[in-house]
Amino acid sequence: MSTHAPNQARVIPLRPRTSPPAPGSDGATRVPQRPAGAPQTPAPREPLWRDLVGDVLRRERLAQERTLKDVAEAARISLPYLSELERGRKEASSEVLAAAARALGLGLADLLSLTQDELARYSRSRVGRGRTSPTVRDGGLCLAA
C-alpha cells in the first residue's frame, strides 16, 4: 500500500485588490464579509484527464463483466497498474492506453472519444449549474440570471 498522498492541486486564495483611499476619505475600504460561521464551499474540482480515462476504462470493463486480472493479462500490464489507472492515480502512456483499450475490444480513438465525451458532459453540467449559483452584488446575495 502506498503512503503517498494523491496528487492534488493546491489552491491559494488571492485577496481582493483594494484601491488607494480617495482624497478626503478616512482611508477605510469596504470589503464584503462572509457572515461569521457561514460554511466556506470550495469550488468543485475540474476533473483531470487521467481521472476521466480511468472512469471510462472501469465502466467499459464492468460493462463487459470482466475482472481487473482478465483485462490486465489481455493488455499485458500489471494488475496493480491497471487498478491505479482506473482510479486516476497514474498517468498512462499512449502505448499503455492503446493496450488497455484493445484488451477491452476498443481502439485508442474509441477510448479517447469516450473520455472526451465525459469531459464535455462535465463541462455542460457545470454551465447548467452556473446559471443558478449565488453571487454577491453590492454586499447582498442574489441569484445570477
Q: What structural domains does the chain harbor?
A: 49-129 (1.10.260.40)
Q: Which of 91, 94, 87, 88 is nearest to 112 (CA)?
A: 94
Phi, psi of 137, rounded to the nearest 5 degrees: -135, 130
CA atoms of 144 and 107, how far apart (whole Å) = 43
Note if the pTM is more than 0.85.
no
Question: What DSSP state is assigned to residue 8?
Answer: -
Question: What confidence tens digit (pLDDT) does each residue in 38-72 have?
Answer: 566 666 678 899 999 999 999 999 999 999 999 99
**What Å distances lie between residue 140 and 36, 39, 66, CA to CA?**
15, 17, 54
CA atoms of 53 and 87, how far apart (whole Å) = 9
The yes-or-no verdict on residue 85 having pLDDT over 60 is: yes
Instruction: Give the percent of the chain with pLDDT over 70.
Output: 57
Q: What is the pLDDT of residue 3?
A: 55
Q: Please state the rounded mean pLDDT for residues 19-37.
A: 56
Q: What is the pLDDT of residue 123?
A: 85
- 68 with 81: CB under 8 angstroms? no
